[in-house]
């Protein structure tokens, strides 16, 4: 009995506390509590804030046009190039050797000297050979006088033909010995086989040299040659006599060369074809120096072209932003040949349109633009007071 009474007392207390909390919060219908005003005030404040935010939508910041530079789409000549690199070679670059063994007695030239064909470059000690030559010349002189005397005697029939033939044979033998002595002396001298420049001196006076040992290196630098290797499909577009552009690394100035010959075979090791170029001697260009070669492989004389700066490349796709009134439209294009500054457009653009060349980073179709070089490229953007009849002067978008 006592337990039941205690249960009902606790239950009554709990209900009283709960009812009081609801009443204080103002949640009991028809009985507003002390906190009901605060809740209402909060709700009103929230409503006012929401209304204020809605009114702020009409005060968004103005969208400013993007400053850009434009270029006119127009026809121009454009060529495709293939670039290669190689080294400059002399027309001839040979080692000059001593044909005899001996001690060097004289060196007449130095590295860098220009020499003429036949000029003496160096000489070995050759006293013995010179004496033998003098002896052979004296013997030949005696044999010559004897031959002339016997020819007169033969004319007077004082000697037989057999005796004259013996004397003549002796004279011929003396002449051959004289020639051999001359050769022996000449073999102690090193002469230039052609006109050129000494590129290396390998001996000094007093040095003992063996036969067939190089003593000088001589180069013929007119003309110079450059050999480059091209893929077979590129080499097919190049002909002998074609002019190409060459930039020696030492000069950093472009000069012209001529294709001398195109190899008729493909190198199986590299699958390339060798081109030999003739380059007139250039002041400052050195044999062995590095050179860049630019070979024209195709040309279009009236191609529709735009600056390379206008291209927006996304993987294999190429597109441009075309100015239309005060906005732009992104258009995909198909390109052809290209050179250092321009690219040919095969599809997507027409002559007279204007493309964006600078400032594309923040653009998308419909973006407002402000051309910085409108007068320079002949672009006429619209104005607020433009007469509709003048709209024809504005670049109009082509229908896609």
Last residue of a domain, one of 216, 239, 272: 216
131 and 243 part of one domain:
no
pLDDT at 215 over 90: yes
In Å, how far are 3, 7, 8, 34, 93 from 17, measured between CA atoms?
A: 22, 16, 14, 16, 116
Lowest-confidence pick of 41-55, 66-80, 181-195, 354-368 = 41-55
Same domain, 263 and 295: yes
The confidence band for 63, taking pLDDT boundaries of 50, 70 and 90, is: confident
Confidence check: pLDDT of 13 > 70: no
pLDDT at 316: 84
Q: Does residue 245 sit in the same domain as residue 193? A: no
Residues 121 and 171 in one domain: yes
> Which tops the pLDDT comparison, 234 or 2?
234
In this structure, are strands 369-371 and 66-72 parallel, antiparallel, or unpaired?
Answer: parallel
Q: Is residue 8 part of a domain?
A: no
For residue 362, give its domain range: 68-78+301-393
Report if residue 338 sits inside a domain. Answer: yes
pLDDT value at 99 more than 90: yes
Q: Do residue 199 and residue 287 come from a single domain?
A: no
In a domain, 53, yes or no: no
pLDDT at 157: 86
Same domain, 361 and 323: yes
**Structural domain count of the chain:** 3
**Which pLDDT band, with edges at 50, 70 and 90, does 286 fall under?**
confident
Domain membership flag for residue 43: no
Instruction: Give yes or no: residues 342 and 201 share one domain.
Output: no
Domain end call among 249, 283, 299: 299
Question: The CATH number of the domain where 331 resides is what?
Answer: 2.40.420.20
Q: 235 and 185, same structural domain?
A: no
Q: How many CB atoms lie within 10 A of CB 14?
A: 9
Q: Are residues 99 and 212 in the same domain?
A: yes
Residue 101 lies in a domain: yes
Interval 127-140: pLDDT, tens = 999 999 999 999 99
For residues 197 and 120, membership in a common domain is answered with yes
Percent of the chain with pLDDT over 70: 79
Q: Do the domain assignments include residue 18?
A: no
Q: Are residues 279 and 320 in the same domain?
A: no
Domain boundary among 252, 275, 299: 299
- Please state the pTM of the whole predicted model: 0.57
CA distance 297 to 260: 16
Predicted confidence band at 43 (pLDDT cuts at 50, 70, 90)?
Answer: very low
- Residue 337 in any domain: the answer is yes
pLDDT band at 7 (very low <50, low <70, confident <90, very high): low
CATH code: domain of residue 290: 2.40.30.170
State yes or no: pLDDT of 311 exceeds 90. yes
Task: Specify the pLDDT at position 5.
Answer: 67
pLDDT at residue 10, as a whole number: 63
Q: Rounded mean pLDDT of the chain? A: 84
50: tokens are 């929401």
Range from 57-61, 295-299, 331-335 carrying the lowest mean pLDDT:
57-61
Is residue 127 in some structural domain? yes
- Identify the CATH number of the domain in which residue 200 sits: 2.40.50.100
Say whether both 197 and 270 belong to one domain: no
């Amino acid at each position: 009995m006592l337990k039941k009474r205690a249960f009902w007392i606790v239950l009554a207390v709990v209900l009283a506390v709960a009812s009081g909390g609801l009443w204080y919060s103002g949640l009991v219908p028809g009985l507003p509590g002390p906190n009901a005003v605060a809740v209402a005030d909060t709700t009103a404040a929230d409503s006012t804030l929401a209304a204020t935010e809605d009114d702020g939508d009409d005060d968004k910041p103005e969208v400013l046009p993007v400053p850009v530079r434009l270029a006119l789409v127009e026809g121009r000549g454009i060529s495709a190039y293939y670039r290669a690199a190689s080294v400059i070679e002399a027309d001839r670059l040979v080692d000059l050797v001593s044909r005899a063994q001996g001690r060097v007695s004289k060196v007449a030239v130095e590295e860098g000297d220009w020499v003429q064909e036949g000029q003496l470059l160096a000489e070995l000690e050759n006293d013995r050979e010179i004496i033998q030559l003098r002896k052979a010349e004296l013997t030949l002189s005696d044999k010559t006088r004897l031959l002339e005397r016997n020819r007169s005697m033969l004319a007077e029939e004082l000697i037989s033909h057999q005796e004259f033939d013996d004397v003549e044979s002796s004279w011929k033998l003396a002449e051959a010995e004289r020639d051999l002595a001359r050769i022996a002396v000449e073999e102690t001298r090193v002469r230039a086989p052609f006109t050129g420049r000494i590129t290396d001196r390998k001996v000094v006076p007093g040095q003992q040299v063996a036969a067939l040992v190089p003593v000088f290196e001589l180069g013929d630098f007119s003309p110079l040659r450059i050999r480059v290797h091209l893929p077979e499909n590129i080499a097919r577009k190049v002909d002998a006599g074609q002019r190409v552009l060459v930039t020696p690394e030492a000069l950093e100035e472009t000069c012209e060369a001529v294709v001398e010959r195109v190899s008729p075979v493909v190198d199986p090791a590299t699958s390339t074809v060798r081109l030999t170029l003739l380059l007139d001697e250039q002041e400052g260009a050195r044999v062995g120096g590095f050179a860049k070669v630019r070979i024209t492989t195709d040309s279009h004389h009236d191609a529709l072209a735009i600056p390379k700066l206008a291209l927006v490349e996304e993987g294999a796709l190429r597109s441009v932003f075309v100015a239309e009134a005060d906005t732009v439209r992104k258009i995909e294009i198909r390109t052809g040949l290209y050179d250092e500054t321009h690219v040919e457009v095969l599809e997507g653009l027409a002559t007279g349109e204007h493309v964006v060349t600078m400032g594309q980073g923040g653009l998308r179709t419909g973006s407002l633009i402000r051309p910085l070089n409108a007068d320079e490229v002949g672009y006429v953007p619209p104005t607020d007071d433009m007469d509709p009849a003048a709209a024809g002067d504005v670049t109009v978008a082509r229908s896609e």
